A and B are shown apart, each in its own frame.
Chain A
Amino acid sequence: MAEIQEYLLSREEFYSALAKRHGEKMQKLLENSEIAVFGLGGLGSHIVNILARSGVGKIYAVDFDTVDISNLHRQLYRISQIGMKKTSAIKEIVREANPFCRLISFDMKFSAEDEDSLNRTAEIISQSDIVCEAFDNAESKAELVNFCLERFPEKAVVCASGMAGEGSANLIETKRKMKNLYLCGDETSEVNENQGMFCSRVSVCASHQAHMIIRLISGETQP
């Protein structure tokens, strides 16, 4: 698979096509950036896809879960990937979108109570330029954001809160909530038994996150 793709498309061809669209300088910045994405669900699968297609050089992708039929309506995975680890499934998707993006996956569950998980998380964050929180659980979101801001106050964190339901997509916004914390979402729409997730709205939020990351890579710090 890899040989065929490289035969069809060289690294130089691929990056020069991207540079034509994004500009040489921006493409260099994207190529040299390393982004950590925690969670590969409705947000993370779309974010990783966007970053890889944009030509980000290295992505650290973290998740413990496997692709389930209940994921297909909003996550990027395919029927043929049901049962596969999300870390492996996203690798397949990225390989076909940008074979030159180095996707390093971590099949692990983030837990603030687990010393080993925190050590591995710290290692991943320390190698990344920007951290992206893309979990679904509210407490895990808070735990990762707190861990990152406490331990790595110089790192920018792009997180998400509030994108469930069929409310207006125009309510999804990117805000700079703290010096190094950017939040995407409407801040209120919570997933629960009365309110599910729609691919359209979750992917709007994922695009907000991915776009803020791209802006940060370009040196722009405002949402």
Chain B
Amino acid sequence: MTQPPKGARRSYGVKAAPYGFLLPAAVLFALFFALPIGYAVWLSFHKVEIKGLGLGKGARSEVWAGLENYASALTDSEFLASALRVLGYGAIVVPVMLGLALLFALLLDSERVRGRSFARLAIFLPYAVPGVIAAVLWGFLYLPDVSPFHYLLEKAGLPQPDLMDGGPLYLAMSNIAVWGGTGFNMIVIYTALRALPAEVYEAAKLDGCSELQIALRIKIPMVVPSLVLTFFFSIIATLQVFNEPMTLKPLTNGIPSTWSPLMKVYNDAFTGGNIHAASATAVVLALATFALSFALLRISNRRTTQGASR
């Protein structure tokens, strides 16, 4: 108290400190998020104009293209086909994966189920397996000469479908995503379940509720927020699927190089060399992700406020 300068310096330190701590994150965000996003948006509104024969310096210049790239992106049949494929794929992956994640989380939370710690670890294990490697493993398991499914079908005298073409391809691709993603989502839901107060169940049990009734009437409604969260992350991951189809592609002729929207973007940018069109497609994809995310957030907010005012 006899040293006002020191006190003043300290309060200045307290004021400046948070900005100092945030500096590395802010710089990295600016360099590797904000700048690239800005650049992608800029690219999406420009195109290359070639003057004359396109020879010599200054013959190629980037000019304003307006919404031209967006118009061609949205009418590109390859892009639309890839978007449809991913919708079909997502319609399988998201409900199956989250359904299994919820089921396993509820089973892990039930005292009468045995082998819970083993199962928890085993189901979580695929999280540690890179998507590329998961696709390699399943890809081989889908090959007719290697696959145990084909072996069993052959023994049973049943027809053996090609798992990596046509309709079965959707199931094969979805299976990889379900296998890889169920564990993480299970942990998220299980964590929420364990955070619920035990008295609620005790009371329900005394009232004669069965475990199943408790799960359906109490546990599931109370973990809705984490279900929304997992739903959210699953949708984003589905829209961005790239590694798995890219890895399966060399094993089959059934996967075109523009199977998913991201593959289409990659193909345009790095094989076709049209970075402007690719940027426009990427921006469309980002906007679709945002639109879906905000719609989901609104729905879930309405849900939680309803729950709170109940």
Does A associate with B in a complex?
no
